[in-house]
Amino acid sequence: MTNLPRLYSGMQPSADSLHLGNYIGALLQWKELQSTHDAFFSVVDLHAITVAQDPAELREKTRRTAAQYIAAGIDPSASTLYVQSHVPAHAQLAWVLNTITGFGEASRMTQFKDKSARQGAEATSVGLFAYPVLMAADILLYDAEVVPVGDDQRQHVELTRDLAERFNSRYGDTFVVPQAMILKESARIYDLQNPESKMSKSAESGSGIVWLLDEPEVTRKKIMRAVTDTDGVVSFDRQGKPGISNLLVIYSALSGRSIESIELEYEGTGYGDFKKGLVEVVVDEFAPVRQRALDLFADPGELDRILAANADRASEIAESTLAKVYDRVGFLRRSR
Ligand code: TRP
């Protein structure tokens, strides 16, 4: 269809609303990349059930996550945005890849080690263990060359490369060996109440998280109450002034202005004015996104149609890769 390089990424349907950290840390960069790449984005519900989920909530979060990506600017006619479970080939390829993944190799994945240590062996499922192999299947089904992810996913992309190369050398050239594109560290956003830790839905209190779907008045309050320091100077200093530095990064990412120009504008004014300026920038950015998301929530039929059409597009590619793989490993072809 296009000869742009193929790109693949996925996001967990993990909350009812995306937050400012997801928006700046990932979405804005994906939005940019979709004009230079043939981009595939999936809402990874198969991955989500590797930890316990309430079925009704999972369904709702899957819809809402997809809707918010569209609302924020992922264009479902330029990119392919779909729900992972709508394309059965993901689970099918994952099975084949499981059989060429070493037990020790999978055991070395640090995310698995952390999660399973936290949960204990009895509460840890085989699905959680195989999570990175499913992720490899996602990527390899589409011949993706580029995989934009946070640094925490780097090891999973490395595994994907190893599996692709192993399969290719065992069964003949089949997969494209992808490359991780690590998302900008500088775009990492911290909790407004606790600016030493990443903005994350698992924070103890929600008061430092700005949700995309928050009402403007709620956003205003959260920003005005953001933790700062006592020296009163609006300047970037990640170590010494983590609160103000975080707010400067947010301001800069959403306004497209340099941090220096923002520092200059607020020289000598104090934190109140700076925060008011930031409220305006955030609310201006989020208000139309929020409105589009609410419109999509209100019309689930339209959203479902978009997702179905995109799943069809994805399936066509995925099915053809899977057929090749089934052939290579020696499965008997079902006659028609
Ligand atoms: N594991 C990724 C995360 O938690 C999500 C993901 C699933 C993904 N499949 C993917 C990312 C394929 C990139 C490519 O962030």
Spacing, Cα 132 to ligand 1 middle (Å): 8
Spell out, as residue ranges, where the chain has pLDDT lower than 50: none
179-217 as b/e: b if 16+ CB within 10 A: ebbebeeebbbbbbbbbeebbbeebeeeebbbbbbbeee
With beta carbons less than 8 A apart as the criterion, state whether 70 and 305 touch. Answer: no
Spacing, Cα 142 to ligand 1 middle (Å): 14
Dihedral of alpha carbons 76, 80, 84, 86, sign: positive
Quick one: which of 314, 322, 289 has its CA closest to 42?
A: 314
Q: Name the residue of 83, 87, 135, 201 to mutate for ligand 1: max ligand atoms within 8 A of Cβ.
A: 135
135 CB within 6 A, ligand 1? yes
9 CB within 6 A, ligand 1? yes
Q: Greatest CA span in the chain, whole angstroms? A: 78
pLDDT, tens digit, 9 for 90 and up, residues 60-100? 999 999 999 999 999 999 999 999 999 999 999 999 999 99
66 CB within 6 A, ligand 1? no
| CA atoms lying within 13 Å on the CB side of residue 221 | 7
With beta carbons less than 8 A apart as the criterion, state whether 103 and 157 touch. Answer: no
What is the crossing angle of helices 89-98 and 126-141, to 10°?
Answer: 110
Q: Which pLDDT value is given to residue 1?
A: 56
Spacing, Cα 139 to ligand 1 middle (Å): 9
The model's pTM is: 0.94
Tokens 């890849």, located at residue: 97
Q: Which pLDDT value is given to residue 147?
A: 98
Pairing of strands 80-83, 38-43: parallel
pLDDT, tens digit, 9 for 90 and up, residues 265-296? 999 999 999 999 999 999 999 999 999 999 99
As a whole number of angstroms, the distance between CA 121 and CA 267 comes to 54
Collect contacts of 165-169 with beta carbons under 8 A, ≥24 apart: 166/100, 167/97, 167/100, 167/325, 167/328
Residue nearest to atom 3 of ligand 1 (CA): 11
Active site residues: 115, 198, 201
Alpha carbon distances (Å) from 200 to 19, 194, 302:
8, 11, 30
